[in-house]
Amino acid sequence: MSFEQRVLKFTFSGDQVGTLGIQGLRAAANIQVASGKTGVNAQVKIWGLTLAQMDNYSSRISAGPALGKFNAVIEAGVLGGPLSTVINGPIIRSYVDLGSVPESAFVVSIAGLYEAANPNPGQSFKGPYNAEDVISALCAGTYTVVNNGAHAVLRNPNVTADSIINQVLEIANHAGFRVSLATTSNTISIWPKNGTIDNQVIDLGPSTDPELVGYPTFTETGLIVTSLYNPEIFVGRNINLKSSIPKANGLWQIVYAWHDLTTMIPKGPWFTSAMLASAGT
């Protein structure tokens, strides 16, 4: 593997302070990708910003989380190549860490669930309805619904939950759908319980690009694998695993994933890990 310079680009924006784009600084980001109501979340630490820059995009802790006040986009890749968006969502908390003065750091937490968690009145639908159409109606004006083969007919569906995402999950539970909130494209994806979020299959092994790191680890419910950073690894997709452990090889479904990314940190991680279960479960 040839040496490549990693890039983490951060773009912060707010109504009162405009937009700030940052890259080339020492930084660490951990991004978690889950299905259901958890969605995509990130914790970030950046060194080298000015005090004024950090103060501009800091939430006021005494006033509670800064939901809806600031937004953050994280893009990752290698220098000279295309950058992929890892998360695009509202900042729920941000502050200046002066614990290592004179080297201060900016600490940011990002959550992709904010808009979908907004209060939404309950609704009733009379007669037989396609569950996927009910979900589209609930998300209208907030999220685009992407459906990869999910279909069920419900009679007189009624949603009583207090937010869009909880209402979607309520219908999905009755219909037997899987749900994933993808903040990078402002979409909610649905698919059959024994299906996949889309038709993309990711090949992963010691000779793929990005390549498998180390060996698969067996768990009670499946496997955990680690790859060099791969933005294509997403909940609901299948991985075609090839390793030196025969019982680990074959098709597996991604049920949880996380990215550990750093720049300007010697021997810092640049990995994507995934928890896998048997395909079709």
CB under 8 Å to 259, separation ≥6 — which residues? Answer: 29, 30, 31, 33, 76, 86, 229, 231, 271, 272, 273
For the chain, the three-class secondary structure string (H helix, E strand, C coil) is CCCCCEEEEEEEEECCCEEEEECCCCEEEEEEEECCCCCEEEEEEEECCCHHHHHHCCCCHHHCCCCCCEEEEEEEEECCCCCEEEEEEEEEEEEEECCCCCCCEEEEEEECCCHHHCECCCEECCCEEEHHHHHHHHHCCCCEEEECCCCCEEECCEECCCEHHHHHHHHHHHHCEEEEEECCCCEEEEEECCCCCCCCEEEECCCCCCCECCCCEECCCCEEEEEECCCCCCCCCEEEECCCCHHHCEEEEEEEEEEEEEECCCCCCEEEEEEEEECCC
Q: Which of 249, 201, 257 is nearest to 227 (CA)?
A: 257
Q: Which of 181, 173, 175, 221 is nearest to 197 (CA)?
A: 181
Q: How many Cβ atoms from other residues are within 10 Å of residue 158's Cβ?
A: 14
**Residue 23 reports pLDDT greater than 50:** yes
| Integer Cα distance of 125 and 132 in angstroms | 13
Would you state the pLDDT for residue 118? 67
Summarised one tens digit per residue, pLDDT across range 134-177 is: 999 998 888 899 999 999 999 999 888 788 888 999 999 999 99
> What confidence tier does 1 reach under pLDDT thresholds 50, 70, 90?
very low
pTM score of the predicted model: 0.90
| Integer Cα distance of 270 and 230 in angstroms | 9
The CATH architecture that domain 6-113 belongs to is: Roll (2.30)
Would you state the pLDDT for residue 117? 62
For the chain, domain boundaries: 6-113, 120-179, 201-256+269-278
Would you state the pLDDT for residue 275? 97
Is 92 in contact with 109 (CB distance < 8 Å)?
Answer: yes
Structure tokens at 161: 């939950």
Of how many residues is the chain composed? Answer: 281
Would you state the pLDDT for residue 32? 95
**Side chain identity, residue 211:** E
Q: Which residue has the higher pLDDT, 31 or 2?
A: 31
Summarised one tens digit per residue, pLDDT across range 29-87 is: 999 998 877 788 999 999 999 999 999 999 865 445 544 588 999 999 999 999 999 99
Average of pLDDT values for 192-212?
95
